[in-house]
Amino acid sequence: MKRVVTMFGRTMLSRKMLGSKILGRKILGRKILGAALVLGLSTAVSSAQTLKKVQDRGALLCGVSQGLPGFSSPDDKGNWTGFDVDVCRAVAAAVFNDPAKVKFLPLSAKDRFTALQSGEIDMLARNSTWTSSRDASLGISFTAVNYYDGQGFIVRKSLKVNSALELNGASICVQTGTTTELNLADYFRSNNMKYEVIAFVTADETVKAYEAGRCDAFSTDVSQLYAERLKLSSPGDHVVLPEIISKEPLAPAVRRGDDQWLTLVKWVQFAMLNAEELGVSSKTIDEALKSTQPEIKRLVGTEGTYGEQLGLTKDWVVRIVKQVGNYGEVFDRNVGTGSKLGISRGLNRLWTKGGIQYAPPIR
Amino acid sequence: MRRQSANSGVETPPPFAVIYNPKVRSALYQFALVLALLWLAYHFAVNATANLGARNIASGLGFFSNTAGFGVNLSLIPYDETDSYGRAFLVGLLNTLLVSGMGIVLATLLGFAIGIGRLSSNWLVARIAGSYVELIRNLPLLFQILFWYLAVLSTLPGPRQSLSLLGAIFINNRGLVVPTFRQTEGFGYVVAALSLGALATIALGLWARRMRDRTGRGIPILGKGAALIVGLPLAIFVAAGLPAEVELPRIVGFNFVGGTRVIPEFVALLIALTTYTASFIAEIVRAGILAVPRGQTEAGLALGLRRGQLLRLVLLPQALRVIVPPLTNQYLNLTKNSSLAVAIGYPDLFAVFAGTTLNQTGQAIEIIAITMAVYLSLSLATSILMNWYNSRIGLIDR
């Protein structure tokens, strides 16, 4: 049984790595496959220990978005880069001491949770909003918020709209299967405004429709708006409106029922935050190894057995920080001031610097 | 016992086990197969329930009454975000039925026209019909849907630069906007006149047929019928003091307000489904007509029938027997293909229910099973209807 599942996983993977565009029929195929897995073969999946399975396989299967600059997108050589991608790379670095041992599966918003439920992926790092119903009824567990986001709108400058409250009667493009669809409905209803929603399956279709003028505005999480704006033919003609209409805590997720794996993925994220807080970066990691400060010693494993407790090695944080970087480095490199997106840290600053990113201590 | 008596006088064959009786054996095999299938279904159900429970994935059909919370841009019934998933399901189902139903009617008309055109003695008409069939049926449907949506309809101007017909009908990249007619007091008379006209036309038709059967001379009723159905209500409409008002669409803010709008997603999907299916229907029609022996045409011409009459009275009734069964297949294909709507954001059953609803509730098994059941029911209903029609037009041996 277990073998069948793995083989399924691999075949699906190779097909997707070809970069085939996911079309309506394929989605049905995948849904049915997902349902079939849950129906018949899943006993093996749920009882298996994810960490052991990942180690045996020699690679982490990570679900990401289908190409969102800054978060997860393949470059011209097929290497995936981005903020979400680095979450997976950090887990791979901690487990294998090699951030390259990840296989990325691009998933549409609509398919992402089914893929995780059915065991097609080990973890999902796809700018997914943590909500109560997703937590309670999807059979998945969110690990820790790695990006505090909110929903906004992008419009053409030529419309001369300065506020989302001026969008009464507008046509708005969204991606289906997202919290965006629901927030949009709430926002317009609570402000007594009318709107027309056109929902597409992939982000690309949504942006294409917006660019073609099918909609007046395109709505999604603000971080994505900045990323998608880069894909427009003349990004300067479009403006992101100031209103943030929702709370979107984005977090990676794992399948429910494997606490060891949940803890591991969660603490990889916390380790990166703690590293930034203690000033340990990929550049200063060698000095940190010689540090006498107890907090840093616990972090880099020169004191205690915190890595082993998680099912990893003593130097797990060293592996992560050396090969991927701390939270601040990852943020700046992919979406922050060091990237094309140029998003300011905002809420995602550390709690010591006026933000709300706060990790429990390693001890 | 019977065997023994039949073999009386001859040596009694050695007794053999009842299991070697072919009838018993076949029944046994069938019973075993049914049992195995039932066991498999039971196993699936139990396994799924256990796994879903163990992983904390919601199950059951309770979600139908929960608030959907998402908007849909085309709905034949009143719907807003506060309605339930059950209602969203209905909205999606009706949208699927709308595009499939209209697609079937239009594809049939277009398909028959092209199929007949391909057999035309006019060289140009036959070549155009032939090229149409070869071009359209050999391109993937999804490609054609995207072509109409992205390459044709998207290039239309925005709402403020709409193409306008008489200042009442507008075409832009948000769709086709037409004026709405709203009835006011006194409109009931017009409806009554229309029904009266229709009934009178039917009576007239029956009378005309009886006269033709009796005298052998046809009585043309087209003009009279038109006068009754169109003229009578129109006269009453004017006499009642024009009891209707026209609501002209006008642009307010971003979009048109007032009037009725046909969204481009619907138009693109309908055009693509219609033209694609019509190319197959055309070939079926051509095959059906060619299957009628040539003698029938010659006999019809010898009787002095005109080309149109020959086609309508002699060829088509016989061709239909060949046409209808494969035509059913095309109707089923069109209905199923309508689920490609998801590619361009047309809110059909597949997009609204097996898409958004599935994603929000996470109940893949229930929703996929229901969606399959719906498409299956639609297909079976179409089949039953077409089979009934087929048996009605079949040759009746007298």
Q: What is the CATH number of the domain that holds B359?
A: 1.10.3720.10
Q: Total domain count for chain B? A: 2
Q: What is the pLDDT of residue B205?
A: 87
Is B151 a member of any domain? yes
Is B256 a member of any domain? no
The answer to whether B240 faces chain A, any CB pair under 8 Å, is no
Task: Mention every residue, 6+ apart, whose C-beta is less than 8 A from residue B11.
Answer: none
Is B328 a member of any domain? yes
**Is the Cβ pair A197, B52 closer than 8 Å?**
no
Q: Are residues B303 and B374 in the same domain?
A: yes
Of B56, B343, B364, the CB nearest to A23: B343
Of the pLDDT bands very low, low, confident and very high (cuts 50, 70, 90), residue B173 is confident
The domain containing residue B327 runs over which residues? 85-161+264-393
Q: Is the pLDDT of residue A337 over 60?
A: yes
Q: Are residues B151 and B270 in the same domain?
A: yes
Q: Which residues of A touch B47 (CB under 8 A)?
A: 39-40, 42-43
The answer to whether A357 faces chain B, any CB pair under 8 Å, is no
Which of A138, A194, A216 is most worth mutating to test chain B (most B CB atoms within 10 A of its CB)? Answer: A138
Of A139, A168, A185, the CB nearest to B71: A185
Q: Is the pLDDT of residue B365 over 70?
A: yes
Q: What is the pLDDT of residue A48?
A: 53
Range B23-43 average pLDDT: 92
Q: Are residues B299 and B357 in the same domain?
A: yes
Which of B43, B47, B55 is most worth mutating to test chain A (most A CB atoms within 10 A of its CB)? Answer: B55
Q: What is the pLDDT of residue B73?
A: 87
Q: Are residues B150 and B101 in the same domain?
A: yes
Of the pLDDT bands very low, low, confident and very high (cuts 50, 70, 90), residue A263 is very high
Residue matched to tokens 């109940």: B363
Question: Rounded CA gap, B303 and B316, in Å?
Answer: 17
Task: Mention every residue, 6+ apart, whose C-beta is less than 8 A from residue B99.
Answer: B266, B269, B270, B273, B338, B341, B346, B348
Which of these CATH numbers, 1.10.3080.10, 3.90.980.10, 2.160.10.10, 3.40.190.10, describes A2-148? 3.40.190.10
**Is the Cβ pair B55, A255 closer than 8 Å?**
yes
Mapped onto helix, strand or coil, the DSSP state of residue A69 is: coil
**Is the Cβ pair A38, B364 closer than 8 Å?**
yes
Q: What is the pLDDT of residue B9?
A: 55
ipTM, two decimals, is: 0.74
Q: Are residues B280 and B137 in the same domain?
A: yes
Question: Rounded CA gap, B282 and B268, in Å?
Answer: 21
Q: Considering only alpha carbons, which residue of chain B is nearest residue A170?
A: B254
Q: Is the pLDDT of residue A179 over 90?
A: no
Digit-coded pLDDT (tens) for A50-97: 999 999 999 999 999 988 889 999 988 889 999 999 999 999 999 999
More confident residue, A23 or A58: A58
Range A187-199 average pLDDT: 91
Q: Are residues B14 and B112 in the same domain?
A: no
Q: What is the pLDDT of residue B333?
A: 94
Q: Which residues of B touch A255 (CB under 8 A)?
A: 55
Q: Considering only alpha carbons, which residue of chain B is nearest residue A21?
A: B343
Q: Is the pLDDT of residue A359 over 80?
A: yes
Of the pLDDT bands very low, low, confident and very high (cuts 50, 70, 90), residue B280 is very high
Q: Are residues B130 and B34 in the same domain?
A: no
Q: What is the pLDDT of residue A50?
A: 92
Contact between residue B347 and residue B74 where contact means Cβ atoms under 8 Å apart:
yes
In CATH, A151-246 is 3.40.190.10: yes
Return the structure tokens found at A359. 């990790």
Q: Are residues B280 and B378 in the same domain?
A: yes
Residues of chain B with pLDDT > 90, as a percent, come to 44
Within 10 angstroms of residue B397's Cβ, the number of other Cβ atoms is: 4
The answer to whether A126 faces chain B, any CB pair under 8 Å, is no
Of B253, B359, B368, the CB nearest to A168: B253
Output the average pLDDT for chain B.
87
Per-residue exposure over A203-228, b if at least 16 CB sit within 10 Å of its own CB, e if not: bbbbbbbbbbbbbbbbbbbbbbbbbb
Q: Are residues B329 and B384 in the same domain?
A: yes
Q: What is the pLDDT of residue A8?
A: 39
Q: Which residues of B touch A50 (CB under 8 A)?
A: none
Q: Across the A/B interface, how many CB contacts are shorter than 8 Å? A: 164
**Is the Cβ pair B364, A35 closer than 8 Å?**
yes
Reference A276, options A316, A331, A339; nearest CA is A331
Q: Is the pLDDT of residue A13 over 60?
A: no
The helix-helix angle for A50-57 and A83-96 (nearest 10°) equals: 80
Fold match, A2-148 / A151-246? yes
Q: Are residues B39 and B90 in the same domain?
A: no
Contact between residue A239 and residue A166 where contact means Cβ atoms under 8 Å apart:
no
Q: Distances in Å between the alpha carbon of B217 and those of A244, A274, B220? A: 78, 99, 10
The single-letter code of the amino acid at A147 is Y
Digit-coded pLDDT (tens) for B108-118: 999 999 999 99
**Is the Cβ pair B48, A24 closer than 8 Å?**
no
Is B169 a member of any domain? no
Task: Mention every residue, 6+ apart, whose C-beta is less than 8 A from residue A101.
Answer: A58, A59, A60, A92, A95
In chain A, what are the domain boundaries?
2-148, 151-246, 259-353
Q: What is the pLDDT of residue B223?
A: 82
**Is the Cβ pair A137, B57 closer than 8 Å?**
yes
Q: Is the pLDDT of residue B99 over 90?
A: yes
